[in-house]
């Protein structure tokens, strides 16, 4: 009896996992909403990106999260605000922003002063900036 019940349960699970033809596109130009959502989620998932992983690791080890969050403004701007502001700048912006991490500064985002992080190498600061730039929307 247990074998029959188990076989029946497996058959139901297998049949429910099948691909329904109602989820495919019809060529009308509207596209499959489910497929589009999946593609957007995959594009937003940066966890497999080595640049993202390295920068996130460096930021997590630093005191950056005391003043910055990804989406929320604290003492300093959110990382997403920074990424959006500098998104269309030339590639040299990475070195410039890395220099600001190391030397500190103020005036661009208001009167709050960003403390210098002289112990951070140029290479690590650039990795942090590259991570932040990946957060643009």
The CATH number of the domain covering residues in 47-137: 1.10.760.10
Which residue, chain included where needed, has tokens 């690590």? 124
The predicted pLDDT at position 101 comes to 96
The predicted pLDDT at position 20 comes to 43
The predicted pLDDT at position 136 comes to 92
The pTM is what? 0.67
The predicted pLDDT at position 44 comes to 67
Indicate left, alpha or beta for 106 from its phi (over 0: left) and psi (-120 to 50: alpha). beta
Tell me the H-state helices in the chain: 2-16, 33-44, 50-61, 79-85, 93-103, 122-133
One pLDDT digit (tens) per residue for the chain, 137 residues: 444 444 444 444 344 444 444 444 444 445 554 444 434 444 467 888 999 999 999 999 999 999 999 999 999 999 999 999 999 999 899 999 999 999 998 888 988 899 999 999 999 999 999 999 999 98
Q: Are 82 and 132 in contact (CB under 8 A)?
A: yes
Q: List the domain boundaries for the chain.
A: 47-137
The predicted pLDDT at position 107 comes to 87
What residues contact residue 98 under an 8 Å CB cut-off, 6+ apart?
A: 122, 125, 126, 128, 129
Q: Are 128 and 59 in contact (CB under 8 A)?
A: yes
Cα 35 to Cα 31: distance, rounded to the nearest angstrom: 8
The predicted pLDDT at position 33 comes to 46
């Amino acid at each position: 009896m247990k074998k029959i019940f188990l076989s029946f349960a497996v058959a139901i699970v297998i049949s429910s996992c099948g691909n329904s033809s109602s989820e495919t596109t019809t060529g009308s130009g509207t596209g499959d909403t489910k497929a589009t959502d999946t593609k957007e989620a995959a594009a937003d998932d940066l966890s497999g990106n080595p640049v993202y992983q390295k920068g996130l690791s460096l930021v997590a080890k630093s005191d950056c999260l005391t003043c910055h969050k990804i989406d929320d403004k604290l003492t300093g701007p959110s990382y997403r605000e920074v990424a959006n502001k500098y998104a269309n700048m030339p590639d040299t912006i990475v070195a410039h922003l890395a220099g600001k991490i190391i030397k500190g500064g103020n005036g661009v985002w208001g009167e709050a002063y960003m403390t210098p992080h002289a112990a951070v190498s140029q290479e690590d600061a650039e990795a942090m900036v590259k991570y932040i730039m990946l957060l643009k929307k």
